[in-house]
Structure 1
Amino acid sequence: MHDPATHRDDTDFDFGVTALGSSFHGDWCLDVEHELDHVTNYLGPEGDPGGLVLLVEDLLRLRDSDLSGDELGLLWHATDPPLGGAPEIRGAERAWLDRLLSVVVPLARARGASEASCTTYLRCGPGATHPVVVEHRGLTAEVVELIGRLGQRAEGHSPLPRTREALVRCAETVCSELAFRFLLQAAGQYWSRLSPETYERLERLSAAFGHGPYVVSAIRYLVDEPHARP
């Protein structure tokens, strides 16, 4: 996500692929038979195309990246709700991203999104020169440092060290902003303990990425509040 001024309303809460992944609560299959039907229901039949364009951008960025299939799978499952529910994509990670695009792109186009917005995006890897991208790249080191602070108080879908490695690869080679959103999801999945100082850093970094006020507050419950002295 590299144009926060344009998409401000769509980024008040989590958005893009991280929000989609976390929407697969364990009971989604009670409403529909197929995971792509859930995607269609989740995205809804109408509305502004801005949020869909952000989702398309995430999906294209991941699909076209140098990340391995295993790394893509680790990132996808970092968004798993606490009781699980996200489709298992092992061995077909890029095919899964293409299947999602086959649903999301027509929806975005039907709502008025341009063809260019559904097929192109600002490159965010090393060597990118767009001013906004350069600004985001400047935040990569802090994202990586915060990934290193990711702890574990609950079982996750995958071993935490492997998830950390995939998050770092995403931050350094794909997009630091996207990796940041995956980090927030992973913190919730592993029930990672956050100090007030770490939470404040997450808030500042989120604001620097152009996010709205509720992207980070969704994991405020993980903060260890200081105990009042008697």
Structure 2
Amino acid sequence: MDFDFGLTALGGRFHMDWVHSGANPREVVRGWADLVGVDEDGLEELRLLRRDVLMLLASPLSDEEVHALWRAAARYYPDFPVEENEPARGRVWLTEINHELHPFLGDSAHEALAMESVNDSVQSAVIALAESLTPRSELPLEPLPAKSVVAAVERCAREVSPSLAFRFLLRAYSAYDSPVPASLWPRFEEVNQAFGYGEFMLSTIEYLLEE
């Protein structure tokens, strides 16, 4: 994939003006699914989103770890009631996303997820890059220590999917305005290539690169 996709791309839709895309978070998901789910390319985007959702639903990660990953991607996801309803967290939110995808993709309850085959060195590289995250700012809404997100990314890399963890990590670097030393950039490129991602995937953090 040349560009971001799945849960991390959906998180990007929760920007400062996300309320113009829906009155509440579920409407944002529904509106985007309505927009793209009209042809095969769009349906593939929805399938990739559902794959991320199902992986985390089936994972050993705690709800707080799932929420930490999601918030790194969705910086302006509300931490206050919307239409008098508390925003869904963790697996409840993932289940709500999956529900909004059902009209387009059908039943996903028994969908099989292929095991991800990744070299141990690539997994270790993702974890090392996570450990190098150095926050210069906090998330704009919900206080969420960078160390909590880093820990969730590392566990996701070890026990769920290194490629998914890497996409969340890119969002976390951006969320915390973490500098990317020039010495680390080749490692980001190597990991990105190992997962078969395109050059534009790294545009999430390119502006953080220090010369």
Structure 1-normalised TM-score? 0.79
Partner of 1:37: 27
Q: What per-residue deviation string (whole Å, max 9, x for no partner) do you get for residues 181-220 of structure 1?
A: 0000000000001012212211121111011120012311
| 2:96 is aligned with 1:99 | yes
Report the aligned-residue RMSD: 2.1
Once residues 42 and 155 of structure 1 are traced to their aligned partners in structure 2, the CA distance between those partners, rounded to angstroms, is: 28
Deviation at 1:28, TM superposition (A): 1.6
Deviation at 1:90, TM superposition (A): 7.5
The residue type equivalent to 1:189 in the other structure is A
| 2:201 is aligned with 1:220 | no
CA contact (8 A) 1:137 1:176 kept: no
Deviation at 1:136, TM superposition (A): 5.0
Deviation at 1:97, TM superposition (A): 0.5
Look up the SS of the partner of 1:197 in the other structure.
coil
| 2:145 is aligned with 1:162 | no
1:107–1:13 Cα change, 3 Å: same
The 5 Å alignment of 1:1-230 reads 11-43=1-33, 44=35, 45-47=37-39, 48=41, 49-81=43-75, 85-88=76-79, 92-109=89-106, 119-123=111-115, 133-156=116-139, 157=142, 158-225=144-211
**Structure 1: where are the runs of 5+ without partners?**
1-10, 110-114, 124-132, 226-230
Q: What per-residue deviation string (whole Å, max 9, x for no partner) do you get for residues 123-169 of structure 1?
A: 3xxxxxxxxx2335552111111100011111124101111111111
Once residues 97 and 206 of structure 1 are traced to their aligned partners in structure 2, the CA distance between those partners, rounded to angstroms, is: 25
Q: Percent identity?
A: 33
Once residues 90 and 63 of structure 1 are traced to their aligned partners in structure 2, the CA distance between those partners, rounded to angstroms, is: 18
Once residues 116 and 94 of structure 1 are traced to their aligned partners in structure 2, the CA distance between those partners, rounded to angstroms, is: 15
The residue type equivalent to 1:15 in the other structure is F
CA contact (8 A) 1:153 1:190 kept: yes
Once residues 196 and 87 of structure 1 are traced to their aligned partners in structure 2, the CA distance between those partners, rounded to angstroms, is: 34
Structure 2-normalised TM-score? 0.86
The residue type equivalent to 2:157 in the other structure is A
CA contact (8 A) 2:125 2:187 kept: no
1:31–1:22 Cα change, 3 Å: closer
Deviation at 1:35, TM superposition (A): 1.5
Look up the SS of the partner of 2:3 in the other structure.
coil
Once residues 100 and 3 of structure 2 are traced to their aligned partners in structure 1, the CA distance between those partners, rounded to angstroms, is: 22
CA contact (8 A) 1:136 1:176 kept: no
